[in-house]
Amino acid sequence: MEAFMMVLDKVIDSMIKLEAEWERIENTHSDYLDEHYRLSSDWRETVHQMMEWRNQIREE
């Protein structure tokens, strides 16, 4: 379980970094990127949900 939690931490960190990069290029590249992946979900919400899930796992 420890290895899983370490990987989950890395995923959350990576998603936070990806969101920061997205915000940096959103105005200039969102149309192009949206052609290849529908960016309809809110990254912050997704990361927040993963963080809550991680915290629930740790509490058990």
What pLDDT is attached to residue 4?
A: 95
The single-letter code of the amino acid at 33 is: L
- pLDDT over 70 at 41, yes or no: no
The DSSP line for 3-51 is HHHHHHHHHHHHHHHHHHHHHHHHHHHHHHHHHHS---S-HHHHHHHHH
Please tell me what DSSP assigns to residue 1.
-
Q: What average pLDDT does the segment 41-52 reach?
A: 84
What pLDDT is attached to residue 43?
A: 74
Domain-wise residue ranges, the chain: 2-59
What pLDDT is attached to residue 2?
A: 93
What pLDDT is attached to residue 40?
A: 60
